[in-house]
Structures are given as C-alpha cells and as structure tokens.
Structure 1
Amino acid sequence: MIQRIIADQVLFGLSFQPSIAILGPRQVGKTTFVKQLQQKLSKPSVYFDLERSSDLSKFQHDRLAFLETMQEQTVILDEIQRLPEIFPDIRSLIDQNRVPARFILLGSASFILLKNTSESLTGRISYFEMTPLLFRELQPDVDYIRHWLWGGFPNAYLAPTSEQQQKWFDDFVRSYLERDLPQLGLSASPIQLRRLMMMIASIQGSLLNQTMLANSLGIRNNLVSTYLDFFEQSFLIRRLQPYYTNIGKRLTKSPKIYIRDSGLVHHLLSIHSYENLLGHIVAGGSWEGYVIEQVISLLNYQQIPFFYRTADGAELDLVIEQDLQIKLAIEIKLSSSPTLSKGTTISLADLNNPPLLLITPTADDYLLKPNVWVCSIQTLSDNIRRILG
C-alpha cells in the first residue's frame, strides 16, 4: 500500500477543523485515500459518492434535515462539485455545533469554479491538495524513468503494460473532456479542447503565448483564456508566474505553462518509450515540469514558487520566495554533468546570490562551487529541506 504524504496533514486538520476539503484531479486516489482514512477517524463516519444517483438523490429534498441525522458522525461527500448548493447547509450545521471532523469534502475541481462556495465555509475549512503519486511517496523502490515516463496517476503508473497505460490515458482524457469539464460548466468542443491540450504538451515549459494558441485553434483569445482557467482549476495545468523585483531590468511578464502530470504530456505526444522521450524535442521541458511538481509538493504555504527571466533571456527555472526574499534558486538539467551558464550566474547576482540547486536525473551530490550544489532526483527532498528547513 502506498502511503500518501498528506495523510498526517489531513489527520491534523481533522483534529481541530469542523471540515476539510481534499482536492485534486480525477483518478488521483482521493477515494481510496479517504476510505483508508476512515479507519483512523476518532468517530464513526458515513460516505456518500455524489457521482452515484442513489447517493445524490438523498440530498435532493430537505438536505439540512438529512444531514442533522448524522451529527455524531463524520460525513464524507465525494465529488462535492456535483452538489454546490449544499455548502450553505454545511455552514449552518457547523455554526450550530462547531466540533472537529464534521465533514470531509472531496472534489475534482478547485472551489473557485464552484460559484460562491468557498466563501460559505471561510474560517470553517482547511484545504489539502492530492497530487498524482510523488517520487518520494514511491521511494525507495521507485524507478525514476518509469515515474517520469508514465506519470503519477496510480492506474497509469501501476499499469502492468504500456498498452494498458495508454488505454487508461485514452479513457481519462475522453472522460475529462466529454464529461468532467461540461459538468463544471464549460461548454466547448471536446475536439477543440483536445487540440489545445496537445498544443500545451508540445510547448511544455515554454512562456505562455495565448494569442499564438488562439490563432492556431482559430478561436478568440478570450476563449483560450477561459479554457486555460478550467484546465488550471481542475488541476490539469500549472501556470508558473514570473518573479518581479525592482532591479532596474526589464523582466518577462508572461507565465510559463506546464501540464502537471508528465505521463499525460507523453501520452498526448504519443511518446511511449524512454528512448522516444530522450529523442523528442519536448524532453527538456518535460523533465523540467516533472521536477517542478516534485519541488512544489515540498513547499509550505509561506514558500511561493516563481521562475525568473529577464528580457535578455537570463533565467532560473524556479525560485522560491519566503518573507519577501528569494531563499532558493533551482536549475533543472537533463545532463548528469551540469554546468553554470552565464545567464544563470547573472540571474543569481540579480537576486543577491541565493543558494542554487542544479537538479539532475542521476548525478551524485556534490558542491559545484560555493553555495551551488548538484543533486539528483533521488536526493531532491533532503536537499530542499536542508536549505529551506
């Protein structure tokens, strides 16, 4: 059984908050996780899957009275985005009797998409994001090549064969485009949305140019913006924002765009082997996006990720801000013998020379020069914790 890293955080949240939300993309393991969690709760629990019509129908009439019958239990509501009108009822019950662990809400979309719902529970809820399986959740037995190539969705990563993994992703993408997004309120052609996903995969790790995407699709720029918002709030993509600082230089203002799961990137581009991946133009961007997701999963709420890039092209793949200072810079390299570029050196100087990690697939850890370390994906977690605490 794979132990999810958020387990202890969730149990801590349940020890004092009346409600918690576990959010993440479909098929990421939220339901499996919460069913394991039920065994560790301090009181009885009851589970409802709002995707099932039999469970959903129980909340169609006098929801408040129905929920009041379960006051001594933890009520678990899976796929909560199917019933956004229940949030005021949850708030009312919490305000009547504020005790820990009254509700666990599971959702496949950020509450930003559920109009006015997050405001209903302000001060009454803690949020936790469940990502696809992380490298450190699979250690020590993980093969980074398989994890990078196939991604972290459990059913994809654990598929016995490449053919089964490809079939799983086919079904996932079709369901996401044809069912999930329409349920969230997006009315758009699945064919057009799939084309957009493939275009994003092909520019993995590049600066976002919405006009270029709109022109390629033959649609308006504002439509692309809407589609990207839905992709982001359903945890498909990440728009990494640039870091701004008053250093007297012209800085890039566009975000960089990534599909968050590397296996999905490779599926959309028909990359089905490690050899194909290394020979593909997207290899560098794919490795960059893969490592960025591992790094961001290690950060706390005070540590904010950005990238840094000047108009002249000097760049750092990732910088971590805390207390209005850059505490760590990261460069992500496919080579196991990385070197410092002139642009990296310039960028570090712009930011008052924070510690720099050069992250590679397999290199042994060593000090390249003062305040600059080379490390591998295997020792990434230890090095991040050593620097950021």
Structure 2
Amino acid sequence: MQLVPRHVMPRVGEALDNFRVVVLHGARQCGKSTLARMVAAERDGTYASLDDDATRQAALADPRSFLLDQDHPLVVDEIQLGGDRVVRAVKQAVDVDSTPGRFLLTGSTNFLTVPSISESLAGRVRLLHLWPLSQAELNRSAPFRVQAWFGDESDTLHASARPAAMTRRDYMESVCRGGYPEASTLPDELRRDWFESYVETVTERDIVALGDLRRRAALGLLLRWVAASSGSELNVAGTASRLGLDRATIGSYLAWMETVFLVHLLPSWSRNLTARAVRRPKVHITDTGLAAGLMGLDASALMVPTSPAAGPLLETFVVNEIARSLSASSAAPRLHHYRDHQQHEIDLVLERSDGAVVAVEIKATTSPNVSQLRHVEWLRDRIDAAAPGAFRAGILLHTGDQRYTVGDRLHICPISTMWA
C-alpha cells in the first residue's frame, strides 16, 4: 500500500521539540507504527515495539537500561504492554534529564485509562490522538481548517476552492470504506472479512486481556448494537433491557470500547440557555467502515431511499471527519450535540474556549433546504440574546452540490467542502 502522509505529523514534531515525552495513541491498525518508524528514522532515533516478545521481556527485565542504552528519541511502540514498570522508568529517566523529545510512546489503548498503568506522566507528557485516515488524507488534500467556520467575515465559507464533485453514492462508498489504511484498499467482501477479524483481535487481545472480562460474547453483541445505533443518544438502561444485560456490564464494556478507541462519546452541550437540556451523550463508532462491516451493509444498501442506517452513519462519518481534523490542528474547539425537551436537536455544536460557537446539521439529502436549519436558527437567536457575537456560523452539510448562504450566518455546503 502506498504511504499516506499523516496530517498529525507536524504536531508530533512540534511536541517532540518541546516536551520530554510524547504519547501518540489510537486504535490498532490506524497507522501509529508506520508513523513512529518514520519519526525514529527522521530524527536518527531508535524504534522498539513491545509487541515483540523478546523486546518486551528485555524492557520488563531491566527497563532503565532498555530506555537509556539506545539512541534517542526512543520510540516505544505499544507502551501499554510494558505496564507501570516501564512507564515509571520513563518518568525517572526524564526527571533526571529533561531534554525535550527523548521518548515517543505509542499505544493502542487510551494511555490515561489503562488500569495497569497508574503513572500518568503529568507535567512531562504531550498526548496526541491518531485516528484512522481522514478523507483529506486519503485524497492527498490539505488538512481541513475548522477555524474557517469561526471566521468573522460572512463569506469565509465560500472563499476557499470549490469542493470536488461527489455524488450521494460516492459519499456512501466513503462511509463504507472507512479510514483504516489496510481495509480502505480492499474490495467490499474482503473488507467485511477484515473488519470481522479486526474486532475479534481487539476484543480478545486488548479488551479481555486488560479488563479480565467474564462475558466475552457480550462484547461482540454490544459492539454490533453500537454500530447499529451510532449517532443516537446513549440510554444505558434501555440498551441493557434490549440486550438482556445489566446496566453495570453495559457501562463497563462501553468504557473498555472507548479505551481501545472502538467508540467515542459526544457529550451534550449547554450554556444554560434552557433549564432542561438533555444530558445524555451520543455514541459514535470510531470508523463508519467498521460499523458498515459489522452491519453487513455496502453502498448499494445505503443508497436505498428507505435505508434506516444511511442518515446515522453519514452523521457519524462527518463527526469523525471533524474530530480527525481537530486531532491534527492546533485549534481545539470542543465537540458536542444538542437536544432539549422542546425537541430542538442539533447534530454537532463546536465551542471554542473563548465561547465562540458553530452549529452543524448533517443530512443525507442531495436537495437541502433552509427549513433543515430551523433548530440552528433558533440556537443562533438564543445565543445572540445571551452573548452577542458568540454565535459564528450555522452550517448544513449535505450530499448534493449546492453551496450558498441562506440567512444571517447560515450556510449550506456539500460535505466534501471539508476536503476541498
């Protein structure tokens, strides 16, 4: 497979220039090892993977010598396999010598939530997240700059290059292809087999090993439910009843799926504009290709007008694209969804630390209309009354080719605008 340049690479370099330790974590098979090897080669360092039995045993037997007796930066791949013993040795090494960029650690589990690692390296580490490939990376396009959505000029969204023409089927094929580098190059039937094997490997090798879980079969059942429910609010009690599992098991297993980057939660947004905002997060599967594979769907199935999965999977696809772009950007707006008891619903609300807000609706239609922005318009007016100037843009992303402004700070754009 041809090497795909990763947009997060400059951030990794910047972090190594300024922090003693850099941790790059993300799902298995998303490209961490390839990127880590590139960093080691470019900086004349050393690459070592704890996936290798001999390397892992050497690190566990004498972690101090393993860490210090090699050329730096030392890249330690799959650091979670070294547990607390190796991570504590990293802490001791950088406390003695605070030179930036001595260690790049990668992991297929969330570094901060692995129970076998109690040392967080707080004050010494820069954490970076590597997602599967974005559409911009797959298309060799420049990174999407979400900052443009927060621009002060009314024509900011229309000043960049025109997006490449894509049909609705093109989008559905992108949804089903996903972003795992190896899987994205396979034909549909082989890709489905790849995802089945991937899930079995991650659940058996990572989740069960780390969590010592007793109901392994429930993991696959729950993950398939997440795939079918991606983009919906998380109702633990309802899910437990539907799947025949207890609430504690659902909560615990979902947390483990987050730890190994199979799913992520989108919290509910509120600035006290309404007293009864719903607090449930939305659950999104990390890669729509994985979701489609688990559901046995291809682009043709999603093209059927009555397909119940097309809209939710497209919403997850766009949410994931934005999250992937933010992981490679210095801009860091927080991502949320919104729903209240008056039935106002907005797929995505981005909020910067200065309080600036962008609201996004995602529709699987090729014929968007301004009425689909009515909840965004309502939110704009509420924010304008409470914090004038904070609402920056409301955007309807769709699968057609229309691109225009439809009202005060309200815009309609093709989804492909994000990788123009």
TM-score by length of 2: 0.85
Deviations 1:270-303 (A, max 9, x none): 10x2120133211101000000111123334641
Q: How does 1:172-183 map to 2 (within 5 A)?
A: 172-183=198-209
**Do the aligned partners of 2:360 and 2:376 also contact (CA within 8 Å) in 1?**
no
Task: Give the match for residue 277 of structure 1.
Answer: 302
The letter of the residue matching 2:303 is: L
Q: In 1, distance between residues paired with 2:45 and 2:399? A: 43
Deviation of 1:150 after TM superposition, in Å, equals 1.5
The letter of the residue matching 1:147 is: S
SS of match in other structure, 2:226: helix
Q: In 2, distance between residues paired with 1:255 and 1:225? A: 13
> Percent same amino acid at aligned positions?
27
Deviation of 1:362 after TM superposition, in Å, equals 3.6
Task: Give the match for residue 165 of structure 1.
Answer: 191
The letter of the residue matching 1:84 is: G
Task: Give the match for residue 156 of structure 1.
Answer: 183
SS of match in other structure, 2:316: helix
Deviations 1:225-262 (A, max 9, x none): 11111111211111111112222442111111111200
SS of match in other structure, 1:83: helix
The letter of the residue matching 1:297 is: R
Task: Give the match for residue 78 of structure 1.
Answer: 77
Task: Give the match for residue 133 of structure 1.
Answer: 133
1:13 is matched with which residue: 12, 15, 28? 15
Deviation of 1:117 after TM superposition, in Å, equals 4.1
Q: In 2, distance between residues paired with 1:343 and 1:9? A: 36
* Unmatched tracts of structure 2, length 5 or more: 142-163, 165-169, 385-390
Moved more, 54-63 or 88-97: 54-63
**Do the aligned partners of 1:109 and 1:234 also contact (CA within 8 Å) in 2?**
yes
Task: Give the match for residue 114 of structure 1.
Answer: 114
Q: In 2, distance between residues paired with 1:354 and 1:153? A: 33
**Greater relative contact order (Cα 8 A, min sep 6): structure 1 or 2?**
2
**Do the aligned partners of 1:236 and 1:260 also contact (CA within 8 Å) in 2?**
yes
Task: Give the match for residue 103 of structure 1.
Answer: 103
* Number of residue-to-residue matches in the alignment: 377
Task: Give the match for residue 351 of structure 1.
Answer: 383
Deviations 1:127-167 (A, max 9, x none): 111101001112258964432111101111011x2222111
Task: Give the match for residue 147 of structure 2.
Answer: none
Task: Give the match for residue 402 of structure 2.
Answer: 364
Task: Give the match for residue 223 of structure 1.
Answer: 249
Q: In 2, distance between residues paired with 1:177 and 1:66? A: 30
**Do the aligned partners of 2:265 and 2:282 also contact (CA within 8 Å) in 1?**
yes
TM-aligned CA distance change 1:140 to 1:48, over 3 Å: closer
**Do the aligned partners of 2:230 and 2:316 also contact (CA within 8 Å) in 1?**
yes
1:287 has 2:311 as partner: no
Deviations 1:83-128 (A, max 9, x none): 1121111011111111122111110011122238474411111111
**Do the aligned partners of 1:22 and 1:129 also contact (CA within 8 Å) in 2?**
yes
Q: How does 1:191-270 map to 2 (within 5 A)?
A: 191-270=217-296
**Do the aligned partners of 2:36 and 2:77 also contact (CA within 8 Å) in 1?**
no
Deviation of 1:186 after TM superposition, in Å, equals 4.0
The letter of the residue matching 2:302 is: L
The letter of the residue matching 2:409 is: N
Q: In 2, distance between residues paired with 1:116 and 1:349? A: 48
1:322 has 2:348 as partner: no
The letter of the residue matching 1:133 is: L
* Unmatched tracts of structure 1, length 5 or more: 383-389
Moved more, 169-178 or 350-359: 350-359
Q: In 2, distance between residues paired with 1:324 and 1:316? A: 21
The letter of the residue matching 2:174 is: H
Q: In 2, distance between residues paired with 1:248 and 1:149? A: 37
Q: In 2, distance between residues paired with 1:228 and 1:150? A: 24
SS of match in other structure, 2:196: helix
The letter of the residue matching 1:347 is: L
**Do the aligned partners of 1:363 and 1:374 also contact (CA within 8 Å) in 2?**
no
Deviation of 1:315 after TM superposition, in Å, equals 1.1
SS of match in other structure, 1:313: coil
Q: In 2, distance between residues paired with 1:317 and 1:248? A: 17
SS of match in other structure, 2:112: helix
TM-score by length of 1: 0.91
Task: Give the match for residue 386 of structure 1.
Answer: none
Moved more, 50-59 or 364-373: 364-373
TM-aligned CA distance change 1:309 to 1:328, over 3 Å: same
Moved more, 186-195 or 161-170: 186-195
**Do the aligned partners of 1:319 and 1:326 also contact (CA within 8 Å) in 2?**
no
TM-aligned CA distance change 1:265 to 1:204, over 3 Å: same
Q: In 2, distance between residues paired with 1:296 and 1:120? A: 24
SS of match in other structure, 1:168: helix
Q: How does 1:53-92 map to 2 (within 5 A)?
A: 53-70=53-70, 72-85=71-84, 86-92=86-92
Task: Give the match for residue 23 of structure 1.
Answer: 25
1:298 is matched with which residue: 305, 319, 325? 325
The letter of the residue matching 2:234 is: L
TM-aligned CA distance change 1:264 to 1:66, over 3 Å: closer
Q: In 2, distance between residues paired with 1:180 and 1:119? A: 20
The letter of the residue matching 2:39 is: L
TM-aligned CA distance change 1:188 to 1:213, over 3 Å: farther
Alignment root-mean-square deviation, CA:
2.0
SS of match in other structure, 2:211: coil
